[in-house]
Structure 1
Amino acid sequence: MSDLNARVVIIGAGHAGGTLAALLRQYGHTGPITMVGDEPIAPYQRPPLSKAWLKGEADADSLALKPLEFYAGANIDFRPSVKAVKLERSARRVHLSDGSELGYDFLVIATGARAIALPIPGADLQGVLSLRTAADAEALKAQVGPGKKLAVVGGGYIGLEVAASGRALGAEVVVLEREARLLARVACETLSTFFRDVHEQHGVTFELGASVTGFEGANGHITGVSLADGRIVPCDAAVVGVGVIPNDELAVDSGLETARGVVVDLEARTADPHVFAIGDVAHRPMPIYGRMFRMESVPNALEQAKQAACAITGRPAPAGEVPWQWSDQYDLKLQIAGYAFDVDEIVVRGDPKSGKFAVFHLKGDQLQSVEAINAPPEFMMGRQLIGNRKALDKAKLADPTVSMKEVTA
């Protein structure tokens, strides 16, 4: 089903929604395109928010996916500061928060995800922040600097990136993590230990196994973080980075299937042939691993935007991609390919103390995932090996003197 004159409505103006709107025009779609976004600015890159934006090296203009005038020039009706509040699938109509309604032939849900807010006392104090939007980043930037104390709740990638930026701005930084190690849910112990060592060398302190029970304040502003053991960690601001929740309420309320995200196929299409979902809000197939999963990454947003654009315009489906993501902290670049599903062995290639190494996650003799620190060849070849499912020689893989091109069995 395709129609280059069809009415397309995109709910969400993030990386996924903005990319889809541009791709539809690039792929020859001539019908009306309306893109609805709840932020006041045009689609922009979000990963630099925890790094370049905080350090004053980027702003809304430099991070914009396209200049604002692009949308008008491409005849894309961009509606900022508006939300979709109700979806009537039988009538193919969506109701917006400004009281208007939009009819559609194809609707794309690209509403992303929101930061989890801790349901604890003091969570509404000024200075208790999250980091998902440009407005969040601007609020945090105003709170950190020399002489300031920043508490980061959550030792995941976002938390560590914020910690690195906080130190670069001269703030004292403490990371409070509930688990016994950093990155417990997303990385192996080798990587956890490495990043802890690096951050400690840069002056970050850590409280591991620390359960946050509340935020203390004075005159409406945060002054400290309360821990379960009775201690209070003083701070001028706190960033809560303990995960996200997909913004799938529109789909849930309209009866679409969800599973911690909107369930879609490899065309990014839901069970309703007129409704798609892309980006952080989508629960999608992962053919390499034989499972469904919700991914939170820019590469996934771009891949699903291509899938939906091809399906809507009648183009052949794009080739499947191996998922990947990255994290920049200080002068380190971490590149991750794949996911460590069903892993039974880990192989470390190189010496972590050198600041250049890779961790390979294997299922039998096949590669499931690679985490590469300042090691582009290992990342690039690893990503290729995940995709082609070739058997690996583990001894060669562990030997950094052997070329990555020679590690297949």
Structure 2
Amino acid sequence: MKIIIVGGGAAGFFAAIHAASKGREVYILEKSPKLLSKVKISGGGRCNVTHRLMPNSQLVKNYPRGEKFLKKAFTHFSIPDTWTWFESRGVKFKTESDGRVFPQSDSSQSIIDALMRASEDAGVKIKTRQAVESIKEENGKYILAVSGSEITADKLIVASGGSPSSSGYSFLSNLNHKINPPIPSLFTFNTPGNPIRELMGLSVPQAHIRLAGTKLSYQGPLLITHWGVSGPAVLKLSAFGAKWLFDQHYRAEAIINWDVDMSEQGWEAIIRGFKEKHPARKVRNYPLNELPNRLWEFLISESGIDSETDFGNLSKKQINRLVQNLFCFILNIEGKTTFKEEFVTSGGIDLKEVNPHTMESIYHPNIFFAGEVLDLDGITGGFNFQAAWTTGYLAGKSTH
């Protein structure tokens, strides 16, 4: 029994490890010279393996695409199973304040070593620089055209990852699966020419950002960069708004409340209260609600307030403008920048054509899919890796 896994990433390795038992011949074919490259660089080289323990009903809410599909898949392998598998192989985890889970070593090499050792122990054979050009079914077997030669498999697991363009899925064309066009997910918002970029490097711990004209919003840390805005709040919003923003050609208005705990009325009350108590104090010298100094100075300037103005001399119009910029600052988005370390695409094999309990194709017996080749994706925080472990586990186990 020969089982071939296309792709040497997280899902591919996990599938191979769980497929290799009872004397099966299992091969990983990776088109590049590198293995587990995304595992290596993710989380700044630390590898955000999964997220803190939570019920599956809550876990699935972190997937803009694939929620219903993964709800079924997670009943077989979920966050606790990921912890158990890696910790049983000597990898200790730690949970950070935002829920992200990393190896205690703070090195992705710990995860790579565990996967490499497990695959070696299972007898998995690994071949790099093996680009699969096409797949065809013949007499119940699958024939792969690979770098000028042919390889025959009894069972096949496709874990080739996402692709920035539809051409990346062309090797699957003979299988007649519906492939939803890939579009970027997880990216930062560009604001060329906007003076806010002068605040590059400044971060706000809990901002709320929404896309004007939609119900799409997210809250969390926000970072101002030399090209626009980034940080978890923006990246997560980009994932949920990926299709809408794509359709808008990445031209939109973002509306920011710089403190999620403050309402419009709350901002006005705090400004008027400070004005009554300290009328002689200069506005620029007293950032309210612990806003960063540079952000406060920027917002009072945007509100038409002179740097020498005292609180006592603030006009009703100036207060209204300042409240607007604090509660609903309007930022014009003109383009995006892919978040390189967490490169994710939405799109891929349509989930309606895959069994969520086994990862098997509904059209082709003994072909399975795992990881980002499927049309599912999560927000930042370890959710994409959790989907890779789950779908890889199911694909591998289902070959038995």
TM-score in same-fold range (> 0.5): no
* Bigger Rg, structure 1 or 2: 2
Greater relative contact order structure (CA < 8 Å, 6+ sep): 2
Higher helix share: 2
Query: TM-score under structure 2 normalisation?
Result: 0.42
